[in-house]
Structure 1
Amino acid sequence: MESRIRRKIRRGVVVSDRMDKSVVVKVETLKLHPKYHKFIRRSKKFMAHDANNECRVGDIVEIIETRPLSKRKRWRVSKIIERPASLND
């Protein structure tokens, strides 16, 4: 049997944690303009599942693609990479 399909992984910043077991993660990407050859910053928001309610606004997290968990949730938080300096104290 073939191994599991490779899942997409994104890194972004938590912009909302007001829901129970869910967070909104903003992922920024750089895209090259076809004519002017300058990089354009694009962002997209993903709803992700946070089972233990560990994420806080400002955390840098890694999210991984998963099966549909609700109407808009298709991602889950795999790990918290960095917390803001003000919350580390």
Structure 2
Amino acid sequence: MPKRILQGLVVSDKQDKTVVVKVERRFTHPLLKKTVRRSKRYQAHDEGNSFKVGDQIFIQESAPISKSKRWVVVGTELPTS
């Protein structure tokens, strides 16, 4: 099964080797027919502490790294297969 890749915005880099990434999704409400924005925060592993608040990055699913980290930072550009 392929690993999911999401794009998001770094909202916190205070932890060592970890960044908190806000991923936003947009969809049309089924009843109101209005575009709705929902966001979710993911903790992702950043080995080199190279990303700062405000960076747009891509994260990829991985095996559990810690209690809350299940994602790894891929980089600022979408990786090519």
TM-score by length of 2: 0.92
Give the secondary structure class of the aligned counterpart of 2:70: strand
Q: Is the 8 A contact 1:55 1:80 kept in 2?
A: no
Of the candidates 13, 17, 25, which is equivalent to residue 17 of structure 1? 13
Give the secondary structure class of the aligned counterpart of 2:53: coil
- CA-CA distance at 1:32 after TM superposition: 1.3
Matched, 1:38 2:34: yes
- Whole-angstrom CA distance in 2 between matches of 1:10 and 1:60: 11
Of the candidates 55, 58, 74, which is equivalent to residue 78 of structure 1? 74
- Whole-angstrom CA distance in 2 between matches of 1:80 and 1:55: 9
Q: Is the 8 A contact 1:31 1:39 kept in 2?
A: yes
- Whole-angstrom CA distance in 1 between matches of 2:29 and 2:38: 11
Aligned Cα root-mean-square deviation (Å): 0.7
- Number of residue-to-residue matches in the alignment: 77
Matched, 1:51 2:51: no
- Whole-angstrom CA distance in 2 between matches of 1:7 and 1:34: 28
**What residue identity is the alignment partner of 1:34?**
P
TM-score by length of 1: 0.84
- CA-CA distance at 1:79 after TM superposition: 0.5
Structure 1 residue runs without a partner (length 5+): 82-89
- CA-CA distance at 1:80 after TM superposition: 2.1
- CA-CA distance at 1:46 after TM superposition: 0.2
